[in-house]
Amino acid sequence: MPPGAQNGLRSGGRRQDSGQGGGHWLEGASLYQIYPLSFRDGDGDGMGDLRGVLAGLDHVAALGVDAIWLSPFYTSPLADFGYDVADHRAVDPRLGDLALFDRVLDKAHRLGLKVLIDLVLGHTSDRHPWFELSRRSRAGDHADWYVWADPSPDGTPPNNWLSVFGGPAWTWEPRRRQYYLHHFLAAQPTLNFRSEACLEAMLDVARFWLERGVDGFRVDAVDFLMRDPGLRPNPPVEAAPYEFPAKLFGMQVHVHDMMHDDIRFVLERLRAVTDAYPNRVLVGELSSQRGAAERIEEYTREPANGPGGLHAAYTLELPKKPFSPQVFRQALMAADDRAHTCWSFSNHDVERAASRWRPQGADPARFEALLAVLLATMPGTICVYQGDELGLPQADLAQEDVRDPFGLAYWPEFKGRDGGRTPMPWTPEAPNGGFCPSGVRPWLPVSPPHLARAVAVQERRNASTLAIWRAALNLRRTRGALRTGRLTHVDEDGPVLAFGREDGAERIVCAFNFGLEPATYMLPHIDLAPIDLPRPPGTREPALDGPTLALPPLGVFLGVRPA
């Protein structure tokens, strides 16, 4: 933690400028994550595709975001639904082809949207040609492109490392008579970036897409890119759990299998490639393991003399914590002096925020409105997951409908990620909610409760969740204090979270009542002019009496003051 970071923000206090002025378009930007398999089906086979992405881009642009993050569309056996890549330079035929991708890229740019694509950097599919060559023999050009190790003297794996998805992180390959490492599925062997040839091959993949015109990458699973070269075993957690967890991965302290110091070297090499193309950026995905805020600082550090790393990074640490003003204050404080944190409340790997965080008994529309404005006012970069702008809750799937290997491994203690990946509802009257133009069964079922929240339904309502998201994102885009302004203070008072944003032209105070009862809060300024936002029907307006702000249940207040 940099000097002074711990005390950089106190109730009513101010901090030093974080030095965010990187001058790239990602600073303060709003991203929208498209999970292509579930966004829209353009050819009627029940699986979302690039033709569907093309059709849905107008909806995304109307939200007021700056860019899309396009999850994997590469050639893949779909063992992990695109994150097991068999060809990094080709579109999976079920999703389209390169010519269709170029059309998506061109239309997005014409709509004013930047395009980030997923760069699955650390592993491939076991059907990738590189792995097919590497697994055959310990000799040859690709022999060291993956992480191989001899067995222990008793034939067991070389160490105790565990896969995130369950079981050992090692699988035996009889042709080489060695184990190969996989941090996720056995079908996702880990690449070895201590091999210069392997690293350069992946950098060539990045060059291929940059030459095609993408505006940057979302870098997958950054914390797993490098590991202890000595393959030392992980120690157990200091206090063994009272009951064995369903996911045994949580029983180890992951000091050797991930988060290695050499990850920064890989990111610097990727950054050097990216910097050769004007105005391109890197956003990294970090795990929720300990010290996520410190790793964001390390991976985004910009030395005065030396190569940079990521431009921004996000972690699932916040989404995996309870929804409370105290948790959010701690997260904002921890990120205060980190140059480029990317905040997201949901994505394809976690339960949707509308279900995960909504307090029992809370009105869904009011809670969704609070989430929209809260995310839109966070400092740094933000990312909206497809369907969150509709307030979609987590879908409840039967076991026979689950496709996620993570969920299949841990059912019923963990039902997997499919409940947050079900198809987007577009038109409630159409088959499959308008996701699929035919009556073909989609790859995941459309959730019936989602139909009442379809895009076409919310387009007709002035104060719908969709309308509130559009207004909040537009406010972020047009108000410099919310887009790139510094964080002036963070406070929590009982159920109320409040923070300030400021640039050279204005100061904005944001206050949120997380509770289900009215609450009061003492504002730091008395000359604040309220900023109007659409509110769900029946919602009472906040009331100002001098510095005293009265917030209704789940109430939101934004007030502006000239700087």
What integer pLDDT is reported at residue 15 of this predicted model? Answer: 28
* Under 8 Å between Cβ of 96 and 45: no
Looking at domain 30-122+196-471, its CATH class is alpha beta
What whole-number distance in Å separates Cα of residue 66 and Cα of residue 291? 29
- The DSSP code sequence of 281-329 is EEEEEE-SSTTHHHHHHHHH---SSS----SEEEESTTTTS---HHHHH
What counts of helices (H) and strands (E) characterise the chain? 14, 21
What integer pLDDT is reported at residue 245 of this predicted model? Answer: 87
Residue whose pair of structure tokens reads 């079981």 in the numeric block = 167
Tens-digit pLDDT profile for residues 457-508: 999 998 999 999 999 999 999 999 999 999 999 999 999 999 999 998 899 9
Structure letter (DSSP) for residue 8: S
Dihedrals phi, psi of 87, to nearest 5 degrees = -155, 110
Q: Is 318 exposed, middle or buried (0-12, 13-18, 19+ CB in 10 A)?
A: buried
∠ Cα 255 260 261 (to 5°): 130
Question: Do the bridges between strand 114-119 and strand 216-219 make them parallel or antiparallel, or are there none, so unpaired?
Answer: parallel
Which tokens is 551 given? 């917030």
One pLDDT digit (tens) per residue for the chain, 563 residues: 222 322 233 233 322 233 333 568 999 999 999 999 999 999 999 999 999 999 999 999 999 999 999 999 999 999 999 999 999 999 999 999 999 999 999 999 999 999 999 999 999 999 999 999 999 999 999 999 999 999 999 999 999 999 999 999 999 999 999 999 999 999 999 999 999 999 999 999 999 999 999 999 999 999 999 999 999 999 999 876 667 889 999 999 999 999 999 999 999 999 999 999 999 999 999 999 988 999 999 999 999 888 899 999 999 999 999 999 999 999 999 986 555 899 999 999 999 999 999 999 999 999 999 999 999 999 999 999 999 999 999 999 999 999 999 999 999 999 999 999 999 999 999 999 999 988 899 999 999 999 999 999 999 998 999 999 999 999 999 999 999 999 999 999 999 999 999 998 899 999 999 999 999 999 988 889 999 999 999 999 999 999 999 999 999 999 999 77
Which tokens is 55 given? 């059709």
What integer pLDDT is reported at residue 337 of this predicted model? Answer: 56
Q: 403: how many CB neighbours lie within 10 A of its CB? A: 16
What integer pLDDT is reported at residue 482 of this predicted model? Answer: 96
Cβ-Cβ contacts under 8 Å for 92 (sequence gap 6 or more) = 73, 74, 75, 76, 78, 82
The residues carrying an active-site annotation are 220, 297
Q: Can you say whether residue 291 is alpha, beta or left, with left for phi > 0 and alpha for psi between -120 and 50 degrees?
A: left
* Under 8 Å between Cβ of 227 and 260: yes
What integer pLDDT is reported at residue 13 of this predicted model? Answer: 31
Which tokens is 288 given? 């929720």
Helix (H) or strand (E) holding 131, with range, is helix 129-134
Which tokens is 350 given? 């976690």
* Under 8 Å between Cβ of 540 and 553: no
What integer pLDDT is reported at residue 197 of this predicted model? Answer: 98
Query: Minimal CA–CA distance to 20: which of 299, 268, 312, 275?
Result: 312
What whole-number distance in Å separates Cα of residue 231 and Cα of residue 441? 45
What whole-number distance in Å separates Cα of residue 45 and Cα of residue 37? 11
What whole-number distance in Å separates Cα of residue 105 and Cα of residue 444? 26
